[in-house]
A = this chain, B = another copy of it.
Amino acid sequence: MDAEEFRRRGMEMVDYVANYLENIEQRPVYPDVEPGYLRSLIPTEAPLEPDNYDDIIKDVDRVIMPGVTHWHSPYFFAYFPAATSYPALLADMLCGAIGCIGFSWSTASEATLVTLLAARCKAVRRVQASNPEKSEAEILSKLVAYTSEQAHCSVERASLIGGAMIKKVPTDNNYAVGGDMFKKMLEEDKAAGLIPFYFCATLGTTASCAFDRITELGPICNKENIWMHIDAAYAGSAFICPEFRPLLNGIEFADSFNFNPHKWLLINFDCSTMWVKKREDLIGAFKMEPLYLKHENQESGKKRFRSLKMWFVFRMYGIQGLQAYIRKHVGLAKEFESLVRADKRFEICAEVIMGLVCFRLKGSNRLNELLLKRITKSREIHLVPCQLSGRFVLRFAICARTTDSRHIQQAWRHITQLTFEILQEPNH
């Protein structure tokens, strides 16, 4: 394919993409295929000679699309948003063409891992400074990290990778961690000879969008030399609106902060940003022989040229446009919340602060599991569940850029219709 053919095919592809996104809501949001369906539809080996481009595009519709979960359908309410926007797509085309490799360290979704490792390194050095007789292995075996029992599992995984113990702090009725409970655990662990070194606080948990009380946790961490990392993966985007900034109070105590513009800031996957208070803490933890570093070392920190799409989006939407976008999503979540509250068969399971509504049918977990199973089977909308206080709960997350009031209303009609059917069945 030469530049001339690329021009022609590129224009066709732009049109294909525009049509796909314009008409995405006609497609069932969730695929009706079994894992492995693709195997029988495609050859077992790559072609020896080039295929025809038109055949490939036909195959996109024939073999790829049937297996796709349409994350940008306005009927997608699962997980959290995977942001997208036209300017971001345009910028991504340019990123791909320039294809220059950014050398950088971090700002990835591995923020938790990177900060935990930096904190581990810092803690070992601090303890060794005052106890030179202690071996590194001995210190490592005493280190303990903390996070909320509601925190994302990546925190647990980071500690597993870093070889550090992790303890989960119980949450209050709002599924948030406060200072009292954390302090209690700390005192016990210190008395047992452990060395607390890291706390990962969450602003906007995955399950229910709860906010740990960092105004209480921060001073404790600072006093005890505990690195406080803030994971605001989803909710972080909302702080572009002044009315949500009070949820950031206490941020001044944090050692590091991460959020994912690819979740809720109209920048398509992947794009994750990290801030760290003391740059040298991070660099110091991973530094190697200077000579080595000079020419090649940066390679393993390679990143795509993602900043270009942020730049396009910021400029094309403006701060006001981004604020309006966040507010619209939060408004749609409130709209859905009102619908749920007005139906006495249902209950809201966690305070609705941002774009996530946790709800369930009053009744058994089995009943709610059944409802979700029917929702998934019908493929009209897509939700995932979570567990709160031992209860099976449905998460309704406002995800797509194009989700509107009518999609919320339609989703609710659909849910209540399935509920009606289930409740009619004998032995439901």
A positions within 8 Å CB-CB of B: 1-7, 9-11, 13-22, 46-51, 53, 55-56, 60, 64, 68-72, 79, 82, 84-90, 92-94, 96-101, 109, 117, 135-138, 140-141, 152-154, 156-157, 160-163, 206-207, 268-270, 286, 288, 291-293, 295-297, 299-300, 302, 304, 308, 311-312, 314-321, 384-387
Contacts and interface: CB of A to CB of B under 8 A. Distances in A.
Contacts of A315: 46-47, 50-51, 55-56
Given A308-B64, A315-B47, A319-B48, A1 B152 contact: no
Nearest to A312: B56
A18 B384 CA distance: 42
A84 B99 contact: yes
Given A13-B94, A20-B97, A49-B320, A141 B135 contact: yes
Copies of the polypeptide in the assembly = 2
Contacts of A68: 98, 100
A136 B140 CA distance: 11
B161 A100 contact: no
A295 B369 CA distance: 13
Contact of A86 (B9, B163, B270): B9
Nearest to A51: B315
Contact of A14 (B11, B100, B207): B11
A84 B96 contact: yes
B152 A141 contact: no
A90 B97 CA distance: 10
30 contacts: A1-B86, A3-B21, A4-B18, A7-B14, A10-B11, A10-B14, A11-B11, A17-B96, A21-B97, A47-B314, A47-B319, A49-B320, A50-B317, A51-B315, A53-B316, A71-B101, A79-B296, A82-B100, A92-B96, A93-B93, A96-B268, A137-B137, A137-B140, A137-B141, A140-B163, A152-B296, A160-B286, A163-B163, A269-B304, A270-B304
